[in-house]
Amino acid sequence: MAQYKGTMREAGRAMHLLKKREKQREQMEVLKQRIAEETILKSQVDKKFSAHYDAVEAELKSSTVGLVTLNDMKARQEALVRERERQLAQRQQQEQQRLQQERLREQEQRRERKRKISCLSFALDDLDDQADAADAAEARRPGNLGKDPDVDTSFLPDRDREEEENRLREELRQEWEAQREKVKDEEMEVTFSYWDGSGHRRTLRVRKGNTVQQFLKKALQGLRKDFLELRSAGVEQLMYIKEDLILPHYHTFYDFIIARARGKSGPLFSFDVHDDVRLLSDATMEKDESHAGKVVLRSWYEKNKHIFPASRWEPYDPEKKWDKYTIR
């Protein structure tokens, strides 16, 4: 640049081009170095994978003389591969054992050094002095007071007490679960009527843990032989009405029993049929009456829901409470 004879503007442009070329040259050098490193790494990886198969190929060539069939060739090749893999695994196991022995030897040497240090008299004296100093500092600490046995500390966190409470709570939960399952397994008799405008009373024994859908499926099996319209019907086309409430299929009888649920005209937790024969003079006492539930085709209900008794039916809502039974 010292011999450049042009104007200052041309000199600046030439300087800018030189810097740009220098930057491009540096970028090319970095790129070449990166490509070289990737090539070396790839060659190392290829060597790791190829060494095993090269040894197998060489041994296969040396052991194969003359013409052999394809099956014999494959069998020999598989045997050589298995033998080579076994040798590699054995060599790796030996290497692991050697490393483990070295670690054990180092641990033994460290323990030996600690033992020798502990045998020195001045080391023990120093440790005793440090322990005495720590005890003295702990004794001088102003907040280090003993626990008063007369103070009630039940409100303070206590790990042992919390663990005992959690254990007792878990035992009670398991006991309650066992009792609930026992109640669910109990059988009961359900009295119902297939309703197609008139009642056809039946009885059926089910478990308290069965759902309404399972009950309807079992009832449908017994009703099909007596009613032609039910032979092609499925359980999803049936409805179960108890005390003027349409019960969902997913509820279990146990749900109604444990909740002491009430319907519009009677209790939902009693599935037999009985009348209240008591002479009640107290109006606050609940009547003990239970009516047979109705099994109805959904298509029949859609056609006759404006006519009594279907006009009284409504879906079951657990949030809705019936303070008085109404029968019309």
315 in Cβ contact with 239 (< 8 Å): no
pLDDT of residue 43: 65
Q: What is the mean pLDDT of residues 159-165?
A: 86
Kindly list the structural domains of the chain, giving each domain's residue range(s) and its CATH number in brackets, ordered by start.
16-60+74-115 (no CATH), 186-271+290-315 (3.10.20.90)
> Is the pLDDT score of 20 beyond 70?
yes
Per the DSSP assignment, residues forming a β-bridge with 203 are 191
Quickly count helices (H) and strands (E) in the chain.
7, 6
pLDDT of residue 216: 92
Q: How far is residue 15's CA from residue 9's CA, in Å, rounded to a whole number?
A: 10
> Is the pLDDT score of 296 beyond 90?
yes
pLDDT of residue 309: 87
Instruction: Please state which of the ranges 35-49, 73-87, 115-129, 231-245 shows the lowest mean pLDDT.
Output: 115-129
> Is the pLDDT score of 113 beyond 90?
no
pLDDT of residue 172: 92
pLDDT of residue 213: 92
Q: What is the mean pLDDT of residues 30-34?
A: 85
- Residues of the chain with pLDDT > 70, as a percent, come to 72
Span 87-98, pLDDT tens digits: 888 888 888 888
pLDDT of residue 284: 44
Task: Using pLDDT thresholds of 50, 70 and 90, give the confidence band for residue 289.
Answer: low
Q: How far is residue 188's CA from residue 269's CA, in Å, rounded to a whole number?
A: 11
In whole angstroms, what separates CA 13 from the centre of its chain? 70
pTM confidence score = 0.46
Beta strands, E only, 184-233: 187-195, 199-207
- Of 247 and 144, more confident: 247
Average pLDDT, the chain: 77
Place of tokens 């020195």: 120
Q: What is the mean pLDDT of residues 187-198?
A: 89
